[in-house]
């Protein structure tokens, strides 16, 4: 199973990728999470990425591609993976296709999780996450039992630097100009499946599962 989750920031790709990854026993590979892990570990790559991320810009393609390819070469990704946040530009998609063909691999499918812009804005600015166990919440739609405290591990919840309103607007614009063209790109390859991401999380999971069955990837 080699899947790409395509969709705007806040579309719920991460949550859905986590669910599918658990169900199908393949890793959820999120480039945003990989960058954030790098900057927590204070690596050079992390410092570089952070400068772009804080402004809502994309990290340069070559830096991103090298990091992704290295991650996909790890043992747990040999049976497949669910990519979340990559590819995010046409050059990344083309480069990725070339790398896949060279390795004699092909993508099983690309899921485009489509969500209205007003919904995205409020999902992102209300999002909170746990710096310790990575659980995510939403102040309005999925609040923790005690405000600002993680239900799972008790740590104080934080807002991602790039979820502040000014940066969110920039990220949505960057998505529109840089990433949306990938919808057509993968449609032309016959790989694209569109999912209505305005539905509840469980409904989106159900739609994804249905579509996976249609491409022969039903789980046991």
Q: Catalytic positions, please? A: 13, 88, 127, 160, 171
Q: Give me the 140-169 binding string for ligand AMP, x by CB under 6 A, dash otherwise.
A: ----------------------x-------
The correct pick among 5, 21, 26, 58 for binding ligand AMP (CB under 6 A) is: 58
Nearer to ligand AMP, 9 or 80 (CB): 9
Least distance CB 88 / ligand AMP (angstroms): 4
Give the other-Cβ count within 10 Å of 16's Cβ.
24
Q: Based on the number of CB atoms within 10 Å of its own CB, is 218 exposed (0-12), middle (13-18) or buried (19 or more)?
A: exposed
What are the start-end ranges of the H helices in 139-197? 165-174, 181-188
The correct pick among 171, 186, 204, 205 for binding ligand AMP (CB under 6 A) is: 171
39 binds ligand AMP (CB under 6 A): no
Site for ligand AMP in 18-37 (CB under 6 A): 31-32, 35
12 binds ligand AMP (CB under 6 A): no
Least distance CB 213 / ligand AMP (angstroms): 27
Residues that bind ligand AMP (rule: CB under 6 A) add up to a total of: 17
Give kind and range of the element (H or E) at residue 196. strand 192-196
- The b-or-e profile of 131-149 (16+ CB within 10 A means b, else e) is eeeeeebebeeeebeeeee
- By DSSP bridging, strand 136-138 and strand 127-129 are antiparallel
Distance, in Å, from the CA atom of 65 to the CA atom of 55, rounded to the nearest integer, reads 20
Three-state SS at 86: coil
- Nearest residue to ligand AMP, using CB? 32
> Contact, 168 vs 9, CB < 8 A?
yes
Q: Which residues bind ligand AMP (CB under 6 A)?
A: 9, 31-32, 35, 52-53, 56-59, 64, 85-86, 88, 92, 162, 171
């Amino acid at each position: 199973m080699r899947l790409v989750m395509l969709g705007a920031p806040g579309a719920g790709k991460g949550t859905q990728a986590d669910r599918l990854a658990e169900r199908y026993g393949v890793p959820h590979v999120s480039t945003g999470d990989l960058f954030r892990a790098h900057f927590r570990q204070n690596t050079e790559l992390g410092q570089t990425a952070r400068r772009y991320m804080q402004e809502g810009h994309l990290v340069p393609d070559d830096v991103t591609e090298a990091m992704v390819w290295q991650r996909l070469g790890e043992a747990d990704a040999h049976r497949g993976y669910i990519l979340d946040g990559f590819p995010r530009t046409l050059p990344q998609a083309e480069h990725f296709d070339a790398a896949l063909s060279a390795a004699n691999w092909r993508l099983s499918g690309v899921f485009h999780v489509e969500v209205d812009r007003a919904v995205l804005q409020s999902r992102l600015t209300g999002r909170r996450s746990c710096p310790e166990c990575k659980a995510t919440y939403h102040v309005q739609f999925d609040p923790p039992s005690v405000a600002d405290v993680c239900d799972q591990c008790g740590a104080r919840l934080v807002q991602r630097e790039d979820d502040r309103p000014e940066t969110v607007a920039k990220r949505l614009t960057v998505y529109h100009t840089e990433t949306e063209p990938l919808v057509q790109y993968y449609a032309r390859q016959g790989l694209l499946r569109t999912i209505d991401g305005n539905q509840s999380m469980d409904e989106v999971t159900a739609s994804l599962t249905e579509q996976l069955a249609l491409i022969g990837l039903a789980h046991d």
